[in-house]
Amino acid sequence: MLIVDILGICCAFLIGKYISDCILRPVEAIRSAAERISIEDLSQRISTEGPEDEMKELTITFNSMIDRLMGRFSGRVSLFPMRPTSCGHPLPSFRAMRI
C-alpha cells in the first residue's frame, strides 16, 4: 500500500510539473523577450502569434507601451542638441534686464 501511495504522489508531481510548464511557457517567452529590449534598442517587439487569450493581450499591451516609450525617448533625444544653445548663460540676460 505504501508503494502505491508513493507512486501516486510521484505521478501527481510529474503531471503537475508538466502542466505548469505548459502554462508558464508563454510567460517565459514574454519575459525573455522583454529582457532583450533595452533603452538603447527599443525597436524589438514581442511576437503576438498564438491564440486569442490573455497572454496575447498582455503582449499587445507591452508592445504598445514600448512604442510609447520609444516616442518619448526619440523626442527627448532631439532636444539635447538644442539644450546648450537654448539655455545659454542666464546671468548676462538677467543683468541686461536689470539695467
Asked whether residue 79 carries a pLDDT value surpassing 50, the answer given is: no
Task: Give every CB contact of residue 30 below 8 A, 6+ residues apart in sequence.
Answer: 46, 55, 58, 59, 62
What is the tens place of the pLDDT at every residue in 30-44?
888 888 887 677 788
Other C-beta atoms within 10 Å of 56: how many?
Answer: 16
Cell triple for 45: 517587439
* pTM, rounded to two decimals: 0.54
Percentage helix, strand, coil for the chain under 3-state DSSP, each rounded to 5: 80, 0, 20
What is the tens place of the pLDDT at every residue in 59-71?
899 889 888 888 8
